[in-house]
């Protein structure tokens, strides 16, 4: 390629990047708002609102669109969760987490000596869980949508068929996957045009096979994915690649409506995702602990503030590891206790403001969940709100897909504990609630959340980021409710993460001054710097001014809020 052309491309990329960063300030609107990881998908959602659709219609349309424009995490081959609050203050959730196939066993990732086969639970076709996204979006739409199904799916079909502008995130991924030609034939082909050239920024990227798959969903609803041609092609793909998902697994998959996890914080109501996500329980547990702190004497970003937050995280993650899993397999999880104010009082007594606690590495370890997920938030003029997080687990999931179907399968089975009974301080966990079993849902950290005020949606928020999701959502909620930050500032504020084990505070680069680092180390904390965590997508509603305020994380250069 001539040097000049490269220069121009680099300049274009830089301008796109800077432009996107500048666009990530707050967006205001009167009639509704959509915020997602891709601005063209947010626009799809906003168009649906304009057509008279409600927040559910907009969320479903945006989610299908992200499967086209943001395929590292947007998907029809994965799963996720919706938290919904309607204009009357009624709340519910939709669980469309992937399930283990019928042929799965709790020792499926071990060799004949009982040793874990390195990486198999995240890399092979055995890492693929039965996808839940199409069933979840369909259920949400059937129960709570307003427009007809074809109208909300069609924009994604159009984007896949006619193409959309290849963006910065896709360009970076394309460079990565095509660098080692032949290593992964599917991913190598994925970003190439009909002439076999890698798509470049600014070009239109079309996905005709995905358009056909989406058109079957548009025409046949959930059966367009779980039955018929698509189901057969999925089952054939699995057989050919030594996977175990069958047509029966697909036909049996159901999304489930569940009661949200509920909590309160100083007059605000918290609604978040129950198990199989651990997000809601941990969020409420940590907010209850924060309610007991005296924030008149604890300043934002002081060593005291960060110590307190880290100690709350440590405790919530320890409880997560011990107790949480799929509720259909773990009938006696102590959810009421973990989210109670009484339990928080007990837990709070154990926090020493002068000294870090010690995580007990003899019993539990790091949990397995990937970092590539995506969140979208929608609100409509009637006062309905949707918080939707869904995932493929790793970036581009299993990095496996069928040429004929045009979409990528998850590697969500890696979120199960892979080796029964074996828990190691290096991070492997083997506790019972989250072991593999046929038709079981793997434990998640996704934390789609709606904060209510006087029975109306006030803040809609969520994030990708594996285990860090719980903590980035927690700190963003605290930033808005306790520190009274506007939503964009709350999202952009640098954050920390503690997940019990490894026993360390991970902090976003530039958050801690040398003085704060010293003060935290003096309390006994081990500190580890990291460039970035999460990508929060949030909306607040100001009832006095009657305005929606949307903001997306500048860490995701193609993201954006679109109102109307
Ligand atoms: N795969 C990320 C999560 O479910 O938390």
SS3 label, residue 93: strand
Give the CA count within 13 Å in the CB-facing half-sphere of 538: 33
pLDDT of 370 = 53
pLDDT of 461 = 98
466 CB near ligand 1 (under 6 Å) = yes
Q: Kindly report the CA angle at 541 between 538 and 544, in degrees rounded to 5?
A: 155
Assess contact for 395 and 72: CB atoms under 8 A.
Answer: yes
Percentage of the chain modeled with pLDDT above 90? 85
What value does the mean pLDDT take over residues 199-219?
Answer: 97
pLDDT digits (tens, 9 = 90+) for 113-140: 999 998 899 989 999 999 999 999 999 9
Candidates 224, 280, 306, 324; CA nearest to 522 is 306
What value does the mean pLDDT take over residues 80-91?
Answer: 97
In whole angstroms, what is the distance from residue 211 CA to residue 401 CA? 15
pLDDT of 9 = 39
What value does the mean pLDDT take over residues 106-110?
Answer: 95
Is it the case that residue 475 has pLDDT exceeding 70?
A: yes
pLDDT of 1 = 30
What value does the mean pLDDT take over residues 171-182?
Answer: 84
Catalytic residue among 373, 423, 449, 516: 373
Candidates 376, 390, 398; CA nearest to 76 is 390
Cα(447) to ligand 1 centroid in Å equals 9
Atom of ligand 1 nearest to the CA of 467: 5
16 CA to centre of own chain:
25
pLDDT of 193 = 87
pLDDT of 367 = 38
In whole angstroms, what is the distance from residue 142 CA to residue 109 CA? 38
Return the higher-pLDDT residue of 368 and 228.
228
pLDDT digits (tens, 9 = 90+) for 139-166: 999 999 999 999 999 999 999 999 999 9
556 CB near ligand 1 (under 6 Å) = no
Atom of ligand 1 nearest to the CA of 446: 5
Is it the case that residue 271 has pLDDT exceeding 90?
A: yes
Assess contact for 270 and 262: CB atoms under 8 A.
Answer: yes
Dmax (CA) of the chain: 68
Atom 4 (ligand 1) nearest CA? 444
Cα(66) to ligand 1 centroid in Å equals 17
pLDDT of 13 = 41
User: Token pair of 472, please?
Assistant: 């980035």
439: left (phi over 0), alpha (psi -120 to 50) or beta: left
pLDDT of 3 = 33
pLDDT of 359 = 85
Candidates 254, 245, 166, 158; CA nearest to 210 is 158
What value does the mean pLDDT take over residues 54-77?
Answer: 98
What value does the mean pLDDT take over residues 384-393?
Answer: 98
Note if the pTM is more than 0.85: yes
Give the CA count within 13 Å in the CB-facing half-sphere of 129: 35
Assess contact for 98 and 132: CB atoms under 8 A.
Answer: yes
Count the neighbouring beta carbons within 10 Å of the beta carbon of residue 517.
17
95 CB near ligand 1 (under 6 Å) = no
pLDDT digits (tens, 9 = 90+) for 344-367: 999 999 999 999 998 874 544 333
Parallel, antiparallel, or unpaired: how do β-strands 256-258 and 91-96 relate?
Answer: antiparallel
Give the CA count within 13 Å in the CB-facing half-sphere of 87: 11
Cα(280) to ligand 1 centroid in Å equals 13
Range of weakest confidence among 178-187, 436-445, 544-553: 178-187
Report the chain's C-alpha Rg in angstroms: 22
Phi/psi of residue 143, each to 5°?
-85, -35
Rounded to whole angstroms, what are the CA distances from 223 to 108, 150, 239, 240? 29, 14, 21, 23
370 CB near ligand 1 (under 6 Å) = yes
Is it the case that residue 499 has pLDDT exceeding 50?
A: yes
Confidence of residue 424 (pLDDT cuts 50, 70, 90): low
In whole angstroms, what is the distance from residue 323 CA to residue 331 CA? 11
Q: Could you tell me where the DSSP H helices lie in 180-302? A: 185-190, 208-220, 223-226, 228-240, 247-252, 279-291
Would you say how long the chain is, in residues?
564
Count the neighbouring beta carbons within 10 Å of the beta carbon of residue 61.
31
SS3 label, residue 339: coil
Rounded to whole angstroms, what are the CA distances from 289 to 292, 302, 348, 478? 5, 18, 6, 11
Cα(457) to ligand 1 centroid in Å equals 25
| DSSP category for residue 412 | G
Active site includes 212? no
pLDDT digits (tens, 9 = 90+) for 517-530: 999 999 999 999 99
SS3 label, residue 372: strand
Is it the case that residue 15 has pLDDT exceeding 70?
A: no
CA terminus-to-terminus distance, the chain: 42
pLDDT of 436 = 97
Assess contact for 416 and 434: CB atoms under 8 A.
Answer: yes
Count the neighbouring beta carbons within 10 Å of the beta carbon of residue 308.
21
Cα(419) to ligand 1 centroid in Å equals 19
Range of weakest confidence among 250-254, 361-365, 401-405, 542-546: 361-365
pLDDT of 371 = 60
pLDDT of 181 = 63
Is it the case that residue 434 has pLDDT exceeding 60?
A: yes
Which DSSP string corresponds to 91-160? EEEEEE--B--TT--TTTTB-TTSPBPTTHHHHSGGGPPBP-HHHHHHHHHHHH--S-HHHHHHHHHHHH
pLDDT digits (tens, 9 = 90+) for 238-259: 999 999 999 999 999 999 999 9
Assess contact for 315 and 289: CB atoms under 8 A.
Answer: yes
**Average pLDDT value over all residues in the chain:** 92
């Amino acid at each position: 390629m001539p040097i000049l052309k490269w220069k121009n491309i680099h300049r274009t990329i830089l301008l796109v990047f800077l432009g996107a960063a500048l666009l990530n300030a707050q967006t205001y609107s009167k009639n509704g708002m959509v915020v997602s990881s891709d601005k063209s998908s947010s626009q799809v959602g906003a168009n649906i609102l304009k057509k008279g659709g409600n927040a559910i219609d907009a969320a479903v349309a945006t989610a299908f669109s992200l499967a086209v424009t943001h395929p590292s995490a947007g998907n029809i081959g994965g799963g996720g969760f919706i938290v919904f609050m309607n204009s009357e203050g009624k709340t519910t959730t939709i669980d469309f987490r992937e399930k283990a196939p019928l042929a799965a066993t709790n020792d499926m990732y071990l060799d004949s000596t009982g040793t874990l086969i390195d990486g198999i639970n995240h890399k092979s076709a055995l890492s693929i869980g039965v996808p839940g996204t199409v069933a979840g979006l369909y259920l949400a739409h059937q129960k709570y949508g307003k427009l007809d199904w074809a109208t909300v799916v069609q924009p994604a079909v159009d984007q896949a068929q006619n193409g959309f502008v290849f963006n910065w995130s896709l360009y970076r991924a394309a460079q990565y996957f095509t660098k080692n030609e032949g290593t992964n034939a599917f991913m190598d082909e994925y970003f190439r045009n009909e002439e076999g050239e890698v798509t470049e920024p600014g070009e239109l990227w079309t996905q005709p096979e995905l358009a056909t798959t989406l058109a079957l969903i548009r025409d046949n609803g959930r059966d367009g994915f779980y039955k018929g041609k698509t189901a057969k092609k999925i089952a054939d793909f699995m057989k050919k690649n030594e996977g175990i998902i069958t047509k029966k697994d697909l036909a049996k998959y159901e999304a489930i409506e569940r009661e949200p996890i509920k909590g309160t914080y100083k007059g605000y109501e918290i609604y978040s995702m129950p198990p199989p996500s651990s997000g809601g329980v941990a969020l409420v547990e940590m907010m209850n602990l924060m309610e007991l702190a005296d924030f008149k004497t604890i300043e934002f970003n002081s060593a005291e503030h960060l110590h307190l937050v880290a100690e709350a995280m440590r405790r919530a993650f320890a409880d997560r590891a011990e107790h949480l899993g799929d509720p259909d397999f773990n009938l006696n999880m102590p959810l009421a206790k973990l989210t109670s104010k009484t339990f928080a009082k007990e837990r709070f007594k154990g926090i020493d403001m002068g000294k870090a606690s010690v995580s007990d590495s003899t019993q539990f370890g790091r949990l397995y969940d990937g970092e590539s997920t995506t969140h979208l938030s929608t609100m409509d003029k009637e006062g309905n709100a949707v918080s939707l997080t869904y995932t493929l687990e790793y970036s581009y999931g299993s990095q496996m897909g069928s040429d004929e179907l045009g979409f990528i399968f998850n590697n969500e089975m890696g979120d199960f504990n892979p080796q029964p009974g074996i828990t190691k301080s290096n991070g492997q966990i083997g506790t019972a609630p989250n072991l593999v079993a046929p038709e079981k849902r793997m434990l998640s950290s996704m934390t789609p959340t709606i904060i209510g005020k006087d029975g109306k949606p006030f803040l809609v928020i969520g994030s990708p980021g594996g285990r860090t999701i719980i903590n980035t959502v927690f700190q963003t909620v605290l930033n808005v409710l306790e520190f009274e930050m506007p939503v964009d500032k709350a999202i952009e504020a640098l954050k920390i993460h503690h997940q019990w084990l490894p026993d360390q505070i991970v902090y976003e680069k530039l958050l801690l001054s040398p003085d704060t680092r010293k003060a935290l180390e003096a309390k006994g904390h081990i500190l580890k710097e990291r460039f970035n965590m999460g990508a929060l997508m949030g909306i607040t509603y100001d009832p006095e001014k009657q305005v929606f305020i949307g903001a997306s994380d500048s860490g995701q250069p193609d993201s954006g809020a679109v109102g109307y």
